[in-house]
Amino acid sequence: MKFLRRASGRTFQSLHVRNFRLYFIGQGISISGTWMQSLAQGYLVVAVLHGSAVDLGVTVALPFLPMLLLGPLGGVLVDRSDKRNVLFATQTVAGLLALCLGILVSTGGVTLGAIWTMAAILGLVNLLDNPARQSFVQEMVGRELLPNAVALNSALINIGRVLGPAISAVLLATVSVAACFYVNAASYAAVIVALALMRTSEITRIRTVERATGQVRAGFRYVWGVPEIRETLLAVAVVGMFAFNFTVTLPLLVLKTLHGSPAAYAFVTCSFGFGAVLGGLVVAHRARPTRSLLVALSGVFALSMSTVAVAPTVWAAALLAVPMGAASIAFLSSANALLQLRSREEMRGRVMSLYAMAFLGTTPIGAIVISLITSASNVRVAIGVGAFSILAAGTYLWLTSRERAPATVSPAAGAAA
């Protein structure tokens, strides 16, 4: 029992910080609403508007397009700003966008064009929201608890991935598609209230920068000049582009290939989310992320994704989605914490904007590429391509770490040791 208490205390230690606890609760409610809308939007495009795989790919891609094109600019703006104030603004606008989409669905005025317009505007919001949220974590918990808080936040995202689709499936079956968008709009209020209740005296603001020319270029030069940051970002970009397209591949696999129902799609999504929660908690228990851990996780992630690609039934896909979800979030949360710990505070917004650009900003390209692969062959091949990309990224991390290993300790230093 003592061991379990110690393990539990270590896993959830950042929740002892009041401000992060408030943020954690607010984010939990909001993220559940976001995943509700994600499932409802995919169902709306595929089942109601009878969209194609490419239509779904464009819908998924548009919220991330601004991040791909303008990500470093968003990072510079965040580096200059109070992160909490940025989050107040972005969460408010995102809630209003969800409300507008719900009204369009209720009144029968929703079209693919309307969905794509709202998605593009949300992408502009995410341009600031994502690096602000990533950077704000350290301001709440400090540097020592940062890896734990990042991992718990990743687990929280996937608790929402479990709860959101489950609630969404119930609302789709008993109320309407529009209800999912209304509930999501209301869920943003939880984050706004949490931010308002925080004790500002307990927020340790990381260093900001004054407005100056050349700050975007300076961010690129800094990232390229630190090998560990550069290599981690390149690996995340490959994985984000070709593997993390589950909002495209999972509905097509379940609804089209395995001929499952919307409830079956929600069930597979929940299984993936459950596994991701487990993966996040395991990483939260570790004190520090390492390069060797990223390499190992990439291998597990690639293997588990390969098994999902050949799943013969919905039940098999749901079962195999659990280890895939665990490995995926363990990989991402470890990479996220590694980047934050290795980067300077005044560069944090730009580094995390490039992380968002690598992971989320590549989604427009990846979603379209995966959709085209699916159209030319089938979704199983598309998922297999994703698995191969993860294996390639892990191999790259392993090779680059081996190349630098002999240079890390000089002969004199080794003799002294």
Domains of the chain with CATH codes: 12-197+220-404 (1.20.1250.20)
DSSP reduced 3-state for 203: coil
Q: Quick one: tokens of 287? A: 């004190």
d(CA 116, CA 55): 10
Q: Quick one: tokens of 387? A: 């698995």
327's CB contacts (< 8 A; 6+ apart) are 275, 279, 297, 300, 301, 304
Number of CB atoms found within 10 A of residue 139's CB: 20
* Amino acid identity at 244: F
Return the pLDDT at 412: 39
Cβ-contact 390, 298 below 8 angstroms: yes
Cβ-contact 258, 317 below 8 angstroms: yes
Q: Quick one: tokens of 185? A: 């709009």
Return the pLDDT at 304: 94
CA dihedral 136→335→251→177, nearest 10 degrees, is -10
Read off φ and ψ for residue 338, nearest 5 degrees: -60, -45
pTM of the shown model: 0.71
- CA 56, 61, 67 angle in degrees (round to 5)? 170
Tell me the pLDDT of the chain (417 aa) as tens digits. 544 455 455 678 888 899 999 999 998 899 888 888 887 887 788 777 776 767 877 787 788 778 777 777 888 888 888 889 999 999 999 999 999 999 998 888 888 888 888 888 998 998 888 888 888 888 898 877 888 887 788 777 767 766 777 787 788 778 888 888 999 999 999 999 999 999 988 888 876 766 767 777 888 888 888 888 999 999 999 998 899 888 788 888 888 888 888 778 878 877 887 887 788 777 766 657 788 888 999 999 999 999 999 999 999 999 999 999 889 888 988 888 888 888 887 787 788 888 888 887 676 678 778 888 888 888 899 999 999 999 999 999 999 887 665 444 443 333 333
Residue 81, sorted as left (phi over 0), alpha (psi -120 to 50) or beta, turns out to be beta
